[in-house]
Structure 1
Amino acid sequence: MRRAFLAATALVALALTTSPAHASSGSGSWPGGWEPAPTPPYDMPAGARCDVPVHTEPVVDEVVQRVLDRRADGTPSRVAYRGDLVVRVTDTDTGSFHDADVSGSAVVDYHADGSQKWYVVGPVLAGVGENAGNLARGLYVLDGVYTMDISATGYKTVHLVHGSADDLCARIG
């Protein structure tokens, strides 16, 4: 368990502090090839993640990304993300909301088959549909050190090395 913790932490730290070996540096307007990675707002009907209809929208979004590696065709295969992100999660029936700080750092491997592997330190927002992950249906702030596998069909498997999963549906419902 400790070895997995150290490996995940080292991978994210290395990706966030070194220059990419095979990536373009982007437009050149951001130091080190970092570019904005805005988080779009989205709506989910009742039952998709929470029992109530939900709207999410960033209220602080300073997330940047850096492509660390590309496939031969130029598509990104490994991308690092970091930056402040606070997302307002709102029950659209009642107006009840919770502002979730999801300012974690991650390195994401994007596989050719559409699957992904996330290496994360700190909080991120993750939604899980009914029977679509090893967590129950919900909208979570996952915090700590962990990996997340997302299959090509969207099934999410979270491996918490050290951390927590806070279900935001309970906070707004």
Structure 2
Amino acid sequence: MRRTALAPLALAAVLFGTQPASAATAGGWEPAPSAPWDVGAGARCGFPVHGEPVVDEVVRRVLSTHADGSARRVAYKGDLVVRVTNTESGASYDADASGSAVVEYGRDGSQTWAVRGPVLVGVGPGQGSLPRGLYLVDGVFTMHISPTGYKEVRLLHGTTDDLCDRVDPAATR
């Protein structure tokens, strides 16, 4: 099901490659690979879900650092397609999460994202204003992740697509 959202929304987890890379590329961009992930039943969907990149060309560029040398502002871009699989039924969906973002990392563990989607977002129970789920958020939006993990998204223009529905054979669309 596709829903248009034009009001502030909260999200729980962003599943977008943010791991440090080992080698720099031209122009200061370096690979930022996404690792496969698993979440148990009830964490995002009503069933266990596995995510695995099938295309991962995400790169990052550190724009500024904190006084201790850790990344403060980082830009991310590149193709990312994640195969989302319901591990109970085997149903899967290839989610194109090839958005771009600039992420500001706070010293307190917070993050502020400026995004041009699509980006894959996981929401845990009680972790935001969107219901628990796994979403492909597409559009132009900002997201603040608090130090406790609460996500607030302001979708300026765009849509959310519930991937739990896409990989649940019992879901009606």
Whether TM-score is above 0.5 comes out as yes
**TM-score when scaled to structure 1?**
0.83
CA distance in 2, matches of 1:161, 1:86: 24
**TM-score when scaled to structure 2?**
0.83
Report what 1:161 is aligned to: 156
CA distance in 2, matches of 1:27, 1:145: 30
Does residue 78 of structure 2 align to residue 83 of structure 1? yes
Report what 1:102 is aligned to: 97
Alpha-carbon shift at residue 28 of structure 1 (Å) = 7.5
Does residue 29 of structure 2 align to residue 34 of structure 1? yes
Structure with greater proportional strand content:
2
Does residue 108 of structure 2 align to residue 113 of structure 1? yes
* Conserved 8 A contact 1:37-1:65: yes
SS in 1 for 2:85: strand
CA distance in 1, matches of 2:24, 2:92: 36
Alignment of 1:39-78 (within 5 A): 39-78=34-73
Supply the RMSD in Å over aligned alpha carbons. 1.3
Unaligned runs of 5+ in 2: 1-20, 169-173
Alpha-carbon distance change, 51 to 27 in structure 1, aligned in 2, over 3 angstroms: closer
SS in 1 for 2:44: coil
1:39-65 superposed Cα distances (whole Å, 9 cap, x missing partner): 000000000000010000000000000
Does residue 128 of structure 2 align to residue 133 of structure 1? yes
CA distance in 2, matches of 1:122, 1:136: 20
CA distance in 1, matches of 2:43, 2:22: 37
Residue identity opposite 1:85 in structure 2: L
Q: Report the count of equivalent residues.
A: 148
CA distance in 2, matches of 1:39, 1:28: 15
Structure with greater proportional helix content:
1
Alpha-carbon shift at residue 131 of structure 1 (Å) = 0.7
Aligned-residue identity in percent: 64
CA distance in 1, matches of 2:136, 2:76: 16
Alpha-carbon shift at residue 158 of structure 1 (Å) = 1.1
Unaligned runs of 5+ in 1: 1-25
Is 27-36 or 84-93 further displaced after alignment?
A: 27-36
Alpha-carbon shift at residue 162 of structure 1 (Å) = 0.2
Does residue 137 of structure 2 align to residue 124 of structure 1? no
SS in 2 for 1:169: helix
Question: After TM superposition, what 4+ stretches of structure 1 lie above 3 angstroms from structure 2?
Answer: 26-29
Residue identity opposite 1:167 in structure 2: D
Alpha-carbon shift at residue 79 of structure 1 (Å) = 0.3
* Conserved 8 A contact 1:27-1:33: no
